[in-house]
Chains A and B, each alone.
Chain A
């Protein structure tokens, strides 16, 4: 084995220019693949981060209350007991919180817009406080200072709000200004409440564009709800990967405790109104979802991006494969006499085949490894530079204000393995042809 690797390295070094060009091409494709995978993983991480901070737990216990068949309210009644039952029925829980949910028109002196409301008890929201960063005044107000104004903790005060930079810019408000929230209550009449902006946070991907935070009490007041109601119970697990099986366990346990639970639908709660309205039941039913269900309307971004990555890398791999085959054909042709001699002195066909395959393997492994390391370094440098994305549409797609590439060890190993495999596969046919040469014919071959 070692002899074959040595021969392969010597042969590669003998054709330095050819090896260098092919190696460079392989390295660049690997680097590109690593960067694209890193970007895709970055989007995925941003999606998980923003989804589980802004709008969902790893598992969510939401639900609908129907007074009549067609009156659908996305609320949970008897939330105190339900919280206890959910806590007792869910394994592997890190923490459980509950939030009110709403949708309102935000009105200021100069503008208006619609946004989702999250009614929070800020004392429960350690993760929100930790993850969300407040913006400098100059980020949302022309001529503003570099001072970070406001305090998320003030969400403990009644009729306050934390908004994001995109809202502040659009509504023309800053910390201390007032926004009027206007919405239709569950009884069908319009109600309004004034909230004072106590914090302006940096944007947090596409989701933050339509999410603001207010105290629970503000939503209770706005929607005229009873105190023992909530919008959703959000469960955070020790391991997010366990969300699906844990949800199944929770469903079974809640059914056992006598709760009515809706069939699982992999879509966010606001997409279920029409379906629920058409169903023939009244009273309370619970709806269990994972974080992925709640942001399923955004996963197309990941799918689309992954498809582009596969297409792009696929085209490049085909080009590289043609290059490798061509190079191997040239190598076989150049070394036909040598092959004949080796065969004449007793080398088996299999060993000749292995000799050429080893050459492709060494080239592939070294070049793709170098490309993967280069990709990792570039990703680390780009992350360190925290490059701002100036275009709103691109920000929305990447779910972040800055370019984030998340390269994992798994990506690197898989990329190197896959591209080395393709290199070897591309070299296989010329190698087989080389191994099938008749020694006499090969020895008589004159270049």
Chain B
């Protein structure tokens, strides 16, 4: 009898030892993702100036300046490049889950996919847009880990069927204390690691429309894991949450900016 009890106790201890400590259940993970999305979503409009620095192995570093316009309620996004001069007027428009690129040098619109390298850098559309993690991914708990000095939840997200995402798998590290996303890794279906992104600085500001605070990453560092040595840094500045004109989210407006 004593042996049986000891055996059972040992088995329980082994199970506890191999289980992720304080694992989140499905509902808690979805709640965590919703929280991440909700923090970054503004029920009104959003605009910001972004600086994109791209370092590519064997090439001269390139710096871009662009303006981002977001209307989260309608899932609309505009990225308008303003610097350098050679790229000024180039822009992206996302409407109805379609991402269009306008290149003033050829005067033509092109429909691009979610994998589009914005401005040829390692950044993607979703780096500038609102977060839709809960809507687009199914979470799985990997474990509680330490990332530098932070204790984090490590989640593995798999894209839902029909979700329009750049990569089907996403590894996410979320700060347990603040609920901020600190690190993300984009993974191809083959298991190949494509990008690693770090979110070292988060900022928040009060939104009149939302009647709550809106979070945004002040800086994103993106490491290209396929072309090792390539790195893109996105810095957000001059974030404003004031209402934007409807005409901004049209092809005509973007075309007019290069005239």
> Interface residues, chain A, CB within 8 Å of chain B?
109-110, 172-178, 180, 182, 189-194, 196-197
Residues of A within 8 A of B113 (CB): 180, 192-194
Of A172, A175, A180, which contacts B115 at CB under 8 A?
A180
Q: Is the beta-carbon distance between B110 and A189 smaller than 8 angstroms?
A: yes
Q: Is the beta-carbon distance between A190 and B226 smaller than 8 angstroms?
A: no
Residue of B nearest to A196 (CB): B189
State A180–B227 Cα separation when bound (angstroms). Answer: 17
Interface residue tally for chain B (C-beta within 8 Å) = 19
State A265–B70 Cα separation when bound (angstroms). Answer: 55
Q: Is the beta-carbon distance between A190 and B111 smaller than 8 angstroms?
A: yes
Q: Is the beta-carbon distance between A189 and B111 smaller than 8 angstroms?
A: yes
Contact of B60 with A by CB under 8 A: no
Contact with A along B83-111 (1 / 0, CB 8 A): 00000000000000000000000001111
Q: Is the beta-carbon distance between B188 and A110 smaller than 8 angstroms?
A: no
Least Cβ–Cβ distance between B29 and chain A, in angstroms: 24
* Total A-B contacts with CB atoms under 8 angstroms apart: 49
State A89–B165 Cα separation when bound (angstroms). Answer: 47
Residues of A within 8 A of B109 (CB): 189-190
State A173–B188 Cα separation when bound (angstroms). Answer: 10
Contact of B148 with A by CB under 8 A: no
Q: Is the beta-carbon distance between A191 and B110 smaller than 8 angstroms?
A: yes
Q: A110-B227, A172-B226, A176-B190 are in contact. Are A191 and B115 (CB under 8 A)?
A: no
21 A-B interface contacts by CB (under 8 A) = A109-B224, A109-B226, A110-B226, A172-B226, A176-B189, A176-B191, A177-B189, A178-B115, A178-B188, A178-B189, A180-B113, A180-B116, A189-B108, A189-B111, A190-B109, A190-B111, A192-B111, A192-B112, A192-B113, A192-B116, A194-B113
Least Cβ–Cβ distance between A163 and chain B, in angstroms: 13
Residue of A nearest to B165 (CB): A194
Least Cβ–Cβ distance between B7 and chain A, in angstroms: 39
Q: A180-B115, A189-B108, A194-B114 are in contact. Are A109 and B194 (CB under 8 A)?
A: yes
Residues of A within 8 A of B226 (CB): 109-110, 172
Contact of B192 with A by CB under 8 A: yes
Residues of B within 8 A of A174 (CB): 190, 192
Q: Is the beta-carbon distance between B192 and A177 smaller than 8 angstroms?
A: yes
State A109–B190 Cα separation when bound (angstroms). Answer: 14
State A176–B194 Cα separation when bound (angstroms). Answer: 12
Of A173, A176, A190, A197, which contacts B110 at CB under 8 A?
A190
Residue of A nearest to B169 (CB): A176
Residues of B within 8 A of A192 (CB): 110-113, 116
Of B110, B188, B224, B227, which contacts A177 at CB under 8 A?
B188
Residues of A within 8 A of B190 (CB): 173-177, 197
Least Cβ–Cβ distance between A445 and chain B, in angstroms: 87
Residue of A nearest to B187 (CB): A176
Residue of A nearest to B112 (CB): A192
Per CB-CB distance, the 8 closest pairs between chain A and chain B, nearest first, are: A176-B190, A190-B110, A176-B189, A109-B226, A194-B113, A191-B111, A177-B190, A192-B113
State A109–B108 Cα separation when bound (angstroms). Answer: 24
Residues of A within 8 A of B189 (CB): 176-178, 196
Residues of B within 8 A of A191 (CB): 110-111
Residues of B within 8 A of A178 (CB): 115, 167, 188-189
Residues of B within 8 A of A190 (CB): 108-111
State A191–B112 Cα separation when bound (angstroms). Answer: 6
Least Cβ–Cβ distance between A186 and chain B, in angstroms: 14
Q: Scan residues 162-195 of chain B and give those whose CB is less than 8 A from a CB of chain A.
A: 167, 188-192, 194
Q: Scan residues 113-150 of chain B and give those whose CB is less than 8 A from a CB of chain A.
A: 113-116
Least Cβ–Cβ distance between A161 and chain B, in angstroms: 12
Least Cβ–Cβ distance between B141 and chain A, in angstroms: 23
Residues of B within 8 A of A180 (CB): 113, 115-116
Known contacts A180-B115, A190-B108, A193-B113; can you find 10 more A-B pairs with CB under 8 A? A109-B226, A173-B190, A176-B190, A176-B191, A178-B115, A189-B109, A190-B110, A190-B111, A192-B113, A194-B113
